[in-house]
Chain A
Amino acid sequence: MGMGRGLKGLMKKGHGDMADFSIILFLCNWGPHAAFQALQDSATQIPPEIKMVRIPCSGRISKALLFKPFEMGADGVAMVGCETGTCRYATGSSTAQKNVEHTRAILHLLGLGEDRLRLKTFMPEDSEPLLQFLRGFCDEIKAIGKSPVVPSPEAEPPSQALELTKEVVAAHDIYACQDCGKCSSACSLTLVGKPFSPRAIASNIISGNIDSADVEKDIWSCLACGLCYDRCPSAVNFPEFIKDMRYILKKDGSRGYLAHGGFFQSLMRTMTPKDLKVNHWDWLPDDIQVDPQSKTLFFGGCAPYFDIFFKGFLGVQTSDILVDSLKLLNFFDIFPLLLEDERCCGHDLLWSGDKENFLKLARLNVDAIHRLGVEELITACPECYRAYTHDYPQQGVKVNFKVTHIFDLLEGEISKGAVGFKPFDRRLTFQDPCRLSRLENRPELPRRLISRLKPIEFNEMQDRGGGAICCGNSAWTGCDSYSKALQVKRIRQAHSTGSDLLVTACPKCQIHLQCAMEDPFLGEELNMDMMDLTSVLAKTINWE
């Protein structure tokens, strides 16, 4: 992401007369650059708001890069490439089309507005049309207005990282480690062969080795799954320790090993301005009944963003979880309130070392919910649940309403009686969500619901409940070939139960496991249908 730094320079340079607006122009090196150069050669006045970034091919600008300028406060982004068919690398133009289309959809949900991002193609001789386009786009952006996004401050100057580390080591009593190795024998990453050992990280950090690249990388690789903490005889809380270490590293300038070019962290940070009018729910099907007066709120989570981002690639449909949750609530005559400008709960920012922006999101969400006089929040996302019940209060954000996981609510309603389930013609197994099954220690909750279903059969995987194997990634950090190995191992376990449907209870489990199923070599062997438990329930629940 050298691009991020370069952009920062560009966006600052504009401080002059018209400098209020910043528009980033990604300009393909081949066709359109010639057109642009002709304009420069003839000293034509190009709107000064336009900051040009010359790129090798429009197809190389990933969604993360397309989005990055918005995180940094840009008011508009123009992607200018070559027409399909004239692309020097054949597929660049069509890739750019998809990336722009998806990023525009995300900008819409986010409330920045899709019109702030445009794709255009020009031939080398098109300098006049290019100029017209740039002027027109500039006017359009000015008509839309300034972006409400205020870029987050630069990383603080290299700080007292060592000092801070000492405090963190003391706070989590890392010295209590007896070097027994139980953690390594439990750690999923170690078990798939990654040269990675929690106790080695601990001892490296204790001896002040935090500058080593290996230690840095390891800190970003940990899945924060807590399996090691479960086994540790000295109760060394490794995930919490890692969380704090990431915070220190981030402050110290570490960019982290972020998956997908840091797209999701960018997205979360871009949600922090107060004035953003997020459109979190405008895609919801009409037959869902909600009630703006209700004191019960349904908090959906980021699934709609995931679905857009992974559209062409994984094709996951995790927003079904939201729709099916709402259908289940409606089934029981619960018509909840929705937060129109719902923002990400911030869980993954906290786990990516960005406490400041996590806190901004937490406060924005909680304040909005308090203003509505909500008495109870219901969520189907184990990470949102964890954030509201645990991380918010722990980080000092007070929550004055009851927080309920939808499984608890459903279990309560169903056990009142008169509700049954239609036969479900599948063989099921279940992927535990770490936040619910291990961190909250409630593996029995989804299982109670599963036991009410009428599938052909339900079989547990070898590792399950609190000891289940992770879906391979957490907080969009540190994804590598070992994550893949872990997923392969997990999916093979699922297959060996003889099941044909892997039931999940977290949108991320579905995304990360699906990712392994896309493997060009193993994909066919691994492929297995997945469905969230809320969807299975919604499909089969019935009044008796």
Chain B
Amino acid sequence: MNAYEEPKTMTRVKEQPPRQEITITGFGGQGIVLAGRILGKAAVLGDHKQSTLVQSYGPEARGGACSAQVIISEGPIHYPYVRHPDILVSMSQTGFDKFIDQLKEGGTLLIDQDLVQPQSIEGDFFSIPSTRIAEELGRKMMANIIMLGFFTAITGAVSVKAARDSVVSSVPKGTEEMNSKAFNKGYDYAVALLKGREKKAKGRAGA
């Protein structure tokens, strides 16, 4: 396994609510459902919580909007569908347009910077050029794993170790290291982003 060290600063240790509902959206081929599965596995196998996954390919399946609904909970989950997610992850504009109204008030929004224009929304959101970074790493299809790293650092809904282990055990044999690297990229990006926000808030955007 990759001997990646946790950054010493700015790891988010946030009190997690007992139950979180997450919707991940994008278009077919981006690995949206895989991302949902990795997330659920991380919560169950790594963090010893309970989790459900509902995947939906709309009628416009191939290349159209698709989504994964994940619930992570400390207690039993009686109803697996997500109606008002606490966290919405959007990797496509159609996915965003379709689900943004469902996001809970005060919920967390994560988007791919280049693929989603978050118009007409109020409040804060977190964006990462995950597809661009994946292209720089040489594999566009790893954007979902980068997004997972980003998600993990920003939300803390799953622990880093659980998430990374889950990535490694879910991707095809032989690609573990690459995916682990992709995960770290997303994670580091989030840490840098949070650090930058903190600095900006203190009025220190430059060196």
Contact = CB atoms under 8 A, between A and B. Distances in A.
A261 to B, nearest CB: 38
- What band does the interface of chain A fall in when counting residues whose beta carbon is under 8 Å from B? 20 to 34
B195 A333 contact: yes
Interface in A389-446: 413, 416-419, 422
Contact of B207 (A416, A417, A418, A541): A541
A537 B206 CA distance: 10
B140 interface: no
A418 B193 contact: yes
B39 to A, nearest CB: 21
Contacts of A327: 207
Given A543-B197, A543-B200, A419 B206 contact: no
B206 A418 contact: no
Nearest to B187: A416
Nearest to B194: A418
What's the dominant secondary structure at chain B's contact region?
A: helix
Given A331-B207, A333-B9, A418 B189 contact: yes
Contacts of A527: none
Contact of A542 (B133, B191, B206): B206
B196 interface: yes
A327, A417, A538 pick with most chain B CB within 10 angstroms: A417
A416 to B, nearest CB: 4
B207 A330 contact: yes
Interface string B156-193: 00000000000000000000000000000100110111
Contacts of B207: 324, 327-328, 330-331, 537-539, 541
A418 B126 CA distance: 11
A544 interface: yes
A417 B205 contact: no
A421 to B, nearest CB: 10
Nearest to A416: B188
B88 interface: no
B188 A417 contact: yes
A416 B191 contact: yes
Nearest to B136: A415
Interface in B62-100: none
B199 interface: yes
Contacts of B129: 417
Given A333-B9, A543-B199, A543-B200, A419 B205 contact: no
22 contacts: A328-B207, A330-B207, A331-B199, A332-B195, A333-B195, A413-B192, A416-B192, A417-B185, A417-B188, A417-B189, A418-B192, A418-B195, A419-B192, A422-B206, A538-B207, A539-B207, A541-B206, A541-B207, A542-B206, A543-B196, A543-B200, A544-B196
Interface of B: 9-10, 128-129, 133, 185, 188-189, 191-193, 195-197, 199-200, 205-207
**CB-based closest 6 A-B pairs:** A543-B196, A417-B189, A416-B188, A418-B192, A418-B193, A331-B207
